[in-house]
Amino acid sequence: MRRTLPTALVAVLGLVLLLDFVVINPTLATLSDVLLELVVLLAAAAAVAGGIALVVHHVAELAQRRTDPLGSLVLLAGFAVILVAGLYPGSAGTSDPVVRWLVAGILGPLVASLFAMLVVFLLRATGRGLQLRPRQAGLMVAAAFVVIVLLLPLGGQLGSWLASAAGFAMAVPIAGVFRGLLIGVAVVTAVQAARILVAVDGGDD
């Protein structure tokens, strides 16, 4: 019963949505619209529940002084500041100037500085990759080097030759690999969707 009810629900709802995709029927369309609205509501409720769970988790961390009390304190303070800025009487919500300033002045630069570390981490990952599997990582580094050379901002005859070679590399071999990968992923995605629909996946080892 514990597994049968969710399985039956998934199968029935999935088939209703699939049927609506194939058949034009007003009753079916209404039913699938209601189901999709329920999914949106569920996602919204999940977001609120997520926020509450996050606060509860970090309050408990703080109360028991477990791994990182300072981190929990910063998180809770940030949470409170954003909530107050978005919910104080007369606030315009997410479009309030205070919220906009907090996002543009604090959150934006924080995210930008995080992503700025990508170059450093890419070099570190390359070193780790060369240690783990030298042949494949070496090939990857060589390919990256070729692409960098092709994209060098050079002028003259050499520059135009490099630009046309870069265009060819992007349009033919790289696009071919990506296309092949995406087709493979699309096929197994469809299989995975069917397996979820008929509830094949599950722990059984």
Residues in contact with other proteins by the rule CB under 8 A: 21-28, 42-43, 46-47, 49-50, 53-54, 57, 67-68, 71, 75, 110-111, 114-115, 117-118, 121-122, 124-126, 128-129, 132, 136-137, 140, 178, 181-182, 184-185, 187-196, 198, 200-205
> Residue 104 or residue 110: which is nearer to other proteins going by CB?
110
Q: Residue 150 and residue 152: Cα distance in Å, rounded? A: 6
Instruction: Report in angstroms how near the CB of residue 133 gets to other proteins at its nearest.
Output: 8
> Residue 90 or residue 201: which is nearer to other proteins going by CB?
201
> Residue 12 or residue 125: which is nearer to other proteins going by CB?
125
Extract the tokens encoding 24.
Answer: 């034009």
Q: Residue 87 and residue 67: Cα distance in Å, rounded? A: 31
Instruction: Report in angstroms how near the CB of residue 138 gets to other proteins at its nearest.
Output: 12
Extract the tokens encoding 47.
Answer: 């977001």
* Count of positions (residues) in the chain: 205
> Residue 27 or residue 64: which is nearer to other proteins going by CB?
27
Which residue matches tokens 């570390």? 117
Q: Residue 162 and residue 89: Cα distance in Å, rounded? A: 60
Instruction: Report in angstroms how near the CB of residue 168 gets to other proteins at its nearest.
Output: 20
Q: Residue 88 and residue 105: Cα distance in Å, rounded? A: 20
